[in-house]
Structure 1
Amino acid sequence: MGSCKDDHENQQDCLWVNGPIIVGAGPSGLAVSACLKENGVPSVILERSDCISSLWQQRTYDCLKLHLPKQFCELPLFGFPENFPKYPTKRQFISYMESYARHFSIEPKFKKEVKRAEFDHGRGVWRVQTQDFEYVSKWLVVATGENADPNIPEISGIESFEGPVVHTSVYKSGAEFKQQRVLVVGCGNSGMEVSLDLCRYNASPNIVVRSTIHILPREMFGLSTFGIAMALLKWIPLRLLDKFLLLVANFTLGNTDRLGLWRPKTGPIELKNATGKTPVLDVGVLSLIKSGKVKVMEGVKEITRNGAKFMDGQEREFDSIILATGYKSNVPSWLKASDFFTGEGMPKTPFPNGWKGENGLYTVGFTRRGLLGTASDAIKISRDIGDQWRTIKNNKKICFSHFPLNR
């Protein structure tokens, strides 16, 4: 990395990067950096927080575990320790990320929030601006992923509620809500797991189901449901696989429609591939719903001073509200003059071809297929950039650190 200052006064400090600029030091950014190193390509990671994997370290609840077995969550070139359990805990996953960074000597630049990134067509380079520097490179890797910022829905009257309203990004433990009446908005994996955690502390969770939802057992016949699905998908059509999964789910979990958890008409795997909506893997909350310890409510019509009114006409009082409404991409807020992403910050090109754009733009962590998709894209990106890097090196093209930049 070299300086690209010219003789002009009062311009932002500018640094040339002799390799890709990677935005984000989560699993996606670390995976790309490691794979690039294996291809002999240096890189610079810009991270807005003060640590790697900030989503896991700073914005997840204490009881979180990986939803899938560890073999489906490994990053390229470096596996989980053998003594880790089948479903590693939050702390174990963070330690794995830290070991991964140490193993590949990855040292992100922390507290470097990207304010703007734009391709300079005149110079053929990417200009990436943080609060104090401008970084310039031939390649830009967007690794901020699908879950960059909390998704806070607009709910009528929520500003009038007198109790605490928190998103799961700041929820840590049910210990903070002992014996409270809690409204949990959102019935995905986070909403279900938070409800289960609340019950451990004698809270009374009411979970809001705003749409249809697939619930599957985490394991079938002693094996991971996801692992079975991936194995069978090699041999049978997707829709037949979905029918099999639903047959087993109905046999082991029962008819969830009777609990107010209506299944979509589209099968669980087909729906995830089409929309990214992940089926809920039951880790014990379904039995609590059946016993009445967790109550299922229809959509919220309005939040009141002391509680909520629901679409079915019911009105209840609550002490706290937890928003288990997920996360969203933040790419549109900083990546400018690029039509590669939708307004929601997802690649317009569907998986498996959404990892590469034009003019040296790459994306990782946007496959809606978890860490398995991240690993796949990281390998593709590193190979593609590696080929370009070797061509430049073999042709002895100009070193970027001496490439003049005129504003």
Structure 2
Amino acid sequence: MSSTTPITIGDAVASLLRDGMPLRFRAYDGSTAGPPDAEIGLHLLNERGLSYIMTAPGDLGMARAYVSGDLDIEGVHPGDPYAAMLELQRHLQFRRPSMGEALRLVRGLGITHLKPPPPPPQEHLPRWRRAVEGLRHSMARDAEVISHHYDVSNRFYELVLGPSMTYTCALYPTPEATLEEAQAAKYDLICQKLALQPGQRLLDVGCGWGGMVRHAAREYGVRVLGVTLSLEQALWAKERIDAEGLGDLAEVRHLDYREVVEQRFDAVSSIGLTEHIGVSNYPAYFEFLRSRLKPGGRLLNHCITRADNRPTQTGAFIDRYVFPDGELTGSGTIVSAAQDAGLEVQHTENLRLHYARTLAGWCANLEANWDECVAEVGEGTARVWGLYMAGSRIAFERGEIELHHVLATRNHADGRSGFPMRPDWQA
């Protein structure tokens, strides 16, 4: 391409990819790239979409354009763009242009596109802005970012998560199990690992909509206290507890787990909370949970982990749109922190592939209920969820992230743990 030849958007896209565009691509200027007969395609609809992509290269710019409706993915449903994302991750390899090439591309596409448009309303503040406005993982800032993610719409979550209202990894006991059966199996496994018995006391931190609270109370006769930072979750859980007649056994409070004053629980469950608290806070987190247990009590920590033990902040899209301040590390760090807090780790288990299948189930629900989801939260938010869940499914399938159970005990002073010689729960 000579220096005098006008540059189209299709030309620019093709020139920045090592092996060319693997999907069909068309832009609002009429230009194209990639194989025209590809089953999946990208359609850039307007100049704002181009500005998003040019001012935030990588997943953030693409996400902004897609969430705003300025970029469409063709050939897949927006509720489950898994096939498109898998194809892009397999084949979309960008190359770094030289300074001369970059300047020519900018001039050709229009320097005005380097002025970033306002981000979509679904986008949270960047990390540096959040740092200015509040100490990371302070109670106030944690409450705000949890509200950003969970106080979307209880009806939306009902449509996506299904009747269990469980937003954590399920456990598929058989290949034929439904999502609902798998969520019940997950809760039952945790109850068995904690060796729950009628009349015991359980603390469930980060309890969400109260799935574990209700299951343990209903199926095991346990007195359960659940706490969540989401007011919407707490209100929904209370209504469901009352509807099921479990009020004498189960309670959910709108409360930071660090403000629980009761002690001497027989067991503590933490299902999907650790991802939110920050790796630097693990020592205080496990020390606090240990302090809530009586000697001989058990702790089950269920959380997303990485394949290595380097603390890693989430990518720009996840941080801005899904889990602000989220941070992951490996199961070894979880185990070490629990041990350093004076807990004896008895068992660990990786449920990585179960989470990939769980996410596929949530995407199927989003697709099946798309119109009602859009009516409830708007198309931009619905697109965020399809993108996030499909991308997370791929990450679990590829082993980039994992899901670990870590089971530990607070032992008596003489070393007694109450744990059997071998694990005694059903697989």
Give the TM-score normalised by the residue count of structure 1.
0.28
Larger RCO (alpha carbons 8 Å, 6+ apart): 1
Give the TM-score normalised by the residue count of structure 2.
0.27
